[in-house]
Structure 1
């Protein structure tokens, strides 16, 4: 027999970003507890709003499985004599409280022994839930927790009520001064509702205008936004991130459309979007691809006065837009190039100097990188590097609250308004990209070079201050910077040598080069390849290269080549023979006696020349096919010839031949480390 189980934790409003991870943690802990107790259960259904986390578990067994323990005793030949129990068997069954008739003959290895089964009744699910839930709730992982009363319980926000039902029965316990029951709080100002049984939970809340299912709540918000936007002949500008955040900020949504003065449309689009989204969480709208002065908010009040809500939103937004207009007007009085000196007064890092110092390094490092990127306008690049951090001195970024995230974007906007060349404008706007995983990449050559230079400078500086980050701690975001460098280099096909780039950066700081930074970027490159589905064996077989684009091209070529087990096998075979052996300087042709070794040497020399050309031209798939053509000749050598010949000169010459052939394979990858199926 089974029953459904419901647990709802009612709280003060939990931050939107805490809800999903918190509920996932609760689900993992709760289902783990049931599994550990051998209690079977069906599907789970999760609900959350800012004021509640809830989980419904279907078909929970009333009891856990019985636990059967087999206890073995003396061997069969000792337990019985003439088919009658011996004193050893009598003593064994008496010690375990069973009669001799209950014993079984059990095979243990090659012997037969006496055994008994002890069956322990499965645990009561109600007891397990009642005893375990308090500690489970205390173990939920949130980004941050708090204490609010004397028991010391920590949670994302103070707990105000708990509903816990197993079927129609209440699961009684106490946590943080709150006793569990069956009454759930509804909308503020409304009466509490009694939950009669778990399966009715979602329906009862919906009858009280609370949409606890986040997916249904999101669909409701989308539907409301679309409807009121159509009434004004506008379209909401899609923003999945904002939609998710708003969904997690309300439990009973009401979309309201408002408008602002059209004069504010003269503000940069990114500034308008930040004013609407950054603090107020409003959706902007467009008509025929152009932004309009209409915006949409989502209130957490189904009975709200729409006019009052709209006027309140418009008043708050008006103040934000006035601020933005003021910042823009004041900022435009000082050209960006006159702000460069102001960077001397702004600390980049107390151990690394001012933003002016960083700017000087960016100008030099980006100029240095130009030699490996064809078609870069170095004059525009140096100008962009010089101006790249000047927007940090502007009112919009310094004092603009929700506008501070527009660094780089504001710089590009101001540069464009002040008549800077388009290449300069674009490079300034792109040099922070990518800001996060899956963010867009710089499109212009100048932007790509400046973005790499900025991230390399930040990474090297971070290393000088705090070293390489660990797997659990990365307070300076160095992994993000390294990942950004890797993405720009690989996804924009840039062959810039890592070591030269990093050495130059260290020299601009006036410090000694450290290979740890190089190793760190190569490690992030390997992770990039793994994340894109290239197997661990392939990724780890590729030795570090002068530039990581070559590493990616080799990995792709190995994958494209298909089954390379023939290459792997023969490489391992060569490696096993050469392991620990001191090999001479080169192959002496006159010591090649047998046709198989002569043929292999001849083919290997031709392959070596062709391989060199393929590597120079980065045709790595062709290189793999060249190596594959050597495999039959190597196998013939092994099958027909004794490598460790008695004649020392011939033996050494054959080892030198193998070493030479083996080195050709190493030019592409360390195939011996590649796993064999």
Structure 2
């Protein structure tokens, strides 16, 4: 049986750049998975995905021309059903055999074996291995069907038959070529109305030959690079672009570096087949415009890489990744410089026009901007954010912070009415900061306006000032409380108001800034600002936030058991959670931990079943030595553990309680809690209640029990 490497390529019109990498990985992944499932490729076969603007391809190592035959054993039916009293086949058995392509002559060869309940009949046969052509056809059909296509196109293809005509084909883009090579041999498969061959096409303008003939599967990438002027591998093309960007920045000098943007690099990689990085420039007068505006228009509209100097400031030079490499690139450079100039001129015009009106003068206009049909206008929203910000500011910094937070909250949304933000919504907040400085407002207010959307994404920095922190908290709480209050909750992967991100933002600010705010009280502060527009959904929102916190902690490496133990108590100060987790982790490492966790779980179950039967502990009612000893141990240990808890030494508090293991074990070994004497039972339940409360101040230790 011959094993050779396999190459399959679909040659198509330009694929959607933002989806290219995913399409390439999916095509290669499903194709290889199907070949492995049919026994045509080994389970550890090396799979290489290729993806360029006009092709999806996969190289799979060690593919067989024909899969190995395999023994198949099929259970037919119980012996008592398949054979009569004389051992002859019943009609049911004969019918089943016929369905498998066998007849009565196969009865003698049937195998008898127990199936767990009774003896059954089994039909053993050898299944012929699939031929590569048939197996690859199935794999190719499956790979095409499972492509994560963002939007399907329907196009017409001339039929390949004696009668002329056209057929409709649906795919991400019109396909024009199919290559399928097993070693040097063409595999006769079809897809999207195309028959496989060994010819493909290279670069539109710079290919040395057309078509490009692929001699064998292993020559694919090298042949395309040599004859087609195409780097077929997405990763290799991306690495080459990154290398050229760095080299071009070095040539410019002055410590310049291209802006780092992984998404932009991926998108540009998906736009070119033969990258050639060129240095361009624009007039220095445009640098008077905030650099965020210039950077955004160059990246978003033109796919350029702006150059920053050693201090991170924008220069008037930028890098273009061209798809052609002429000997004289001056025309390409001049063309890109000519294209970018109107974009930058627009940004400068917007900036100049916006500064003719103050942010204060725009406040009234927010009342005409709809926020949500159930929650009113942006103007109404601003008033709610102001009220929440004043309340939080008062708690954290008194009148001074409350006043500055109120001022910033009143102006924070006004840049939504500016031309610049109208053109580039991504700049909301950022432009507000620039315009606030132009209006003569303090840096504190400007920073707060700029930062009140932070954190915008995972890993983003938090607001820089207390004022910004308060306004950011108020803004996110207004969104969360409002949306939960009208029942507009995230479902599955849909979260149009980014409530999950807002919740994580609130968590990060409370935790990383160590704010002395209790979660339930904080949520309750926001509710009155809505009046009768919402229902109070504070409990559901609190659970949502704890759920986000649990997920975040697990992502950071905490075990699910530890997180569950800490969050089961619903700690109100989220800033304490990390210390509680550390304490639980240290406690779990103690030799006493498993026994105490198990005892704690047992105590919890006892108290649940005997709810309301406990009483204040009366030492005069103690009968057994073990209950006296447990009470005495608690009197000696619990005050110290409580003192450490109050001081924030959660680790010390739990470790102090570890000394209770011996008395607790002795109690359960020698004391019957559910005594016949009601007073005795109530007293013992009261003792366990006191113990339960003492042991579960840091975390619910029963959650640590196996």
TM normalised by structure 2 equals 0.87
How far is the alpha carbon of 1:405 from its aligned partner? 0.8
1:535 equivalenced with 2:554 (yes/no): no
Alignment partners' CA distance in 2, 1:74 and 1:407: 71
Alignment partners' CA distance in 1, 2:364 and 2:451: 23
Contact between 1:151 and 1:176, CA under 8 Å: does it hold in 2?
no
For residues 311-354 of structure 1, the C-alpha deviation after alignment (integer angstroms, 9 at most, x for no partner) is 11111211111111111111111121222112122222232222
Alignment partners' CA distance in 2, 1:347 and 1:304: 55
1:283 equivalenced with 2:283 (yes/no): no
How far is the alpha carbon of 1:97 from its aligned partner? 4.4
* Closer, same or farther: CA 590–552 of 1 in aligned 2, 3 Å: same
Contact between 1:392 and 1:407, CA under 8 Å: does it hold in 2?
yes
Structure 2 residue matching 1:433: 3-state secondary structure: coil
* Closer, same or farther: CA 605–64 of 1 in aligned 2, 3 Å: farther
* Aligned residue runs from structure 1 range 118-133, under 5 A: 118-133=125-140
Contact between 1:468 and 1:517, CA under 8 Å: does it hold in 2?
no
Partner of 2:50: 47
Contact between 1:67 and 1:122, CA under 8 Å: does it hold in 2?
yes
Q: For this pair of structures, how many residues does the alignment match?
A: 664
Contact between 2:5 and 2:217, CA under 8 Å: does it hold in 1?
yes
Partner of 2:258: 237
Partner of 1:480: 501
Alignment partners' CA distance in 1, 2:381 and 2:38: 59
Contact between 1:391 and 1:411, CA under 8 Å: does it hold in 2?
yes
Contact between 1:142 and 1:156, CA under 8 Å: does it hold in 2?
yes
1:389 to 386, 400, 413: 413
Partner of 1:202: 221
1:142 equivalenced with 2:165 (yes/no): no
The CA RMSD measured in Å over matched residues stands at: 3.0
Alignment partners' CA distance in 2, 1:75 and 1:427: 77
Contact between 1:468 and 1:520, CA under 8 Å: does it hold in 2?
no
1:666 to 688, 693, 696: 696
1:155 equivalenced with 2:155 (yes/no): no
Contact between 2:580 and 2:698, CA under 8 Å: does it hold in 1?
yes
1:269 equivalenced with 2:291 (yes/no): yes
Contact between 2:178 and 2:196, CA under 8 Å: does it hold in 1?
yes
Contact between 2:477 and 2:526, CA under 8 Å: does it hold in 1?
yes
Alignment partners' CA distance in 2, 1:117 and 1:611: 70
Structure 1 residue matching 2:171: 3-state secondary structure: coil
How far is the alpha carbon of 1:138 from its aligned partner? 2.1
* Closer, same or farther: CA 554–383 of 1 in aligned 2, 3 Å: same
* Aligned residue runs from structure 1 range 337-416, under 5 A: 337-373=360-396, 377-398=401-422, 400=423, 403-416=424-437
How far is the alpha carbon of 1:154 from its aligned partner? 4.1
Partner of 1:175: 191
Alignment partners' CA distance in 1, 2:77 and 2:463: 77
Alignment partners' CA distance in 1, 2:605 and 2:497: 45
Structure 2 residue matching 1:373: 3-state secondary structure: helix
Contact between 2:137 and 2:190, CA under 8 Å: does it hold in 1?
no
Alignment partners' CA distance in 1, 2:192 and 2:118: 58
* Closer, same or farther: CA 74–28 of 1 in aligned 2, 3 Å: closer
**Uncovered stretches (5+) of structure 1, i.e. residues with no partner:** 77-85
Alignment partners' CA distance in 2, 1:605 and 1:532: 38
**Uncovered stretches (5+) of structure 2, i.e. residues with no partner:** 80-84, 157-165
1:249 equivalenced with 2:249 (yes/no): no
Partner of 2:244: 224
Alignment partners' CA distance in 2, 1:440 and 1:9: 43
Structure 2 residue matching 1:148: 3-state secondary structure: strand
Alignment partners' CA distance in 2, 1:441 and 1:152: 53
Structure 2 residue matching 1:561: 3-state secondary structure: helix
1:557 equivalenced with 2:583 (yes/no): yes
Partner of 1:567: 596
* Closer, same or farther: CA 667–278 of 1 in aligned 2, 3 Å: same
2:679 to 649, 671, 674: 649
Alignment partners' CA distance in 1, 2:168 and 2:529: 52
Structure 2 residue matching 1:357: 3-state secondary structure: helix
* Closer, same or farther: CA 552–144 of 1 in aligned 2, 3 Å: farther
Structure 1 residue matching 2:514: 3-state secondary structure: coil
How far is the alpha carbon of 1:278 from its aligned partner? 2.0
* Closer, same or farther: CA 197–601 of 1 in aligned 2, 3 Å: same
Structure 1 residue matching 2:153: 3-state secondary structure: coil
Alignment partners' CA distance in 2, 1:497 and 1:21: 43
Q: Which moved more, 1:27-36 or 1:351-360?
A: 27-36
1:12 equivalenced with 2:42 (yes/no): no
How far is the alpha carbon of 1:486 from its aligned partner? 1.8
Q: Which moved more, 1:296-305 or 1:355-364?
A: 296-305
2:550 to 526, 530, 533: 526
* Closer, same or farther: CA 252–505 of 1 in aligned 2, 3 Å: same
Alignment partners' CA distance in 1, 2:389 and 2:168: 54
Contact between 1:186 and 1:193, CA under 8 Å: does it hold in 2?
yes
For residues 243-285 of structure 1, the C-alpha deviation after alignment (integer angstroms, 9 at most, x for no partner) is 2322222111111111111111222121221122121121122
Alignment partners' CA distance in 1, 2:152 and 2:695: 55
* Aligned residue runs from structure 1 range 488-503, under 5 A: 488-503=509-524
* Closer, same or farther: CA 327–90 of 1 in aligned 2, 3 Å: closer
How far is the alpha carbon of 1:287 from its aligned partner? 3.6
For residues 596-643 of structure 1, the C-alpha deviation after alignment (integer angstroms, 9 at most, x for no partner) is 212222333454444444444332212211332222211111123333
Contact between 1:74 and 1:88, CA under 8 Å: does it hold in 2?
no
For residues 438-477 of structure 1, the C-alpha deviation after alignment (integer angstroms, 9 at most, x for no partner) is 2222232222221121111122233345522122322222
Q: Which moved more, 1:307-316 or 1:164-173?
A: 164-173
Alignment partners' CA distance in 2, 1:665 and 1:304: 78
Contact between 1:22 and 1:141, CA under 8 Å: does it hold in 2?
yes
Partner of 1:31: 32
Alignment partners' CA distance in 2, 1:357 and 1:342: 11
Q: Which moved more, 1:102-111 or 1:535-544?
A: 102-111
* Closer, same or farther: CA 165–105 of 1 in aligned 2, 3 Å: same
* Closer, same or farther: CA 75–416 of 1 in aligned 2, 3 Å: closer
Structure 1 residue matching 2:321: 3-state secondary structure: strand
2:541 to 501, 512, 517: 517
Structure 1 residue matching 2:320: 3-state secondary structure: strand
TM normalised by structure 1 equals 0.90
Alignment partners' CA distance in 1, 2:174 and 2:680: 83
For residues 545-568 of structure 1, the C-alpha deviation after alignment (integer angstroms, 9 at most, x for no partner) is 223333343223212434232331
* Closer, same or farther: CA 188–362 of 1 in aligned 2, 3 Å: same
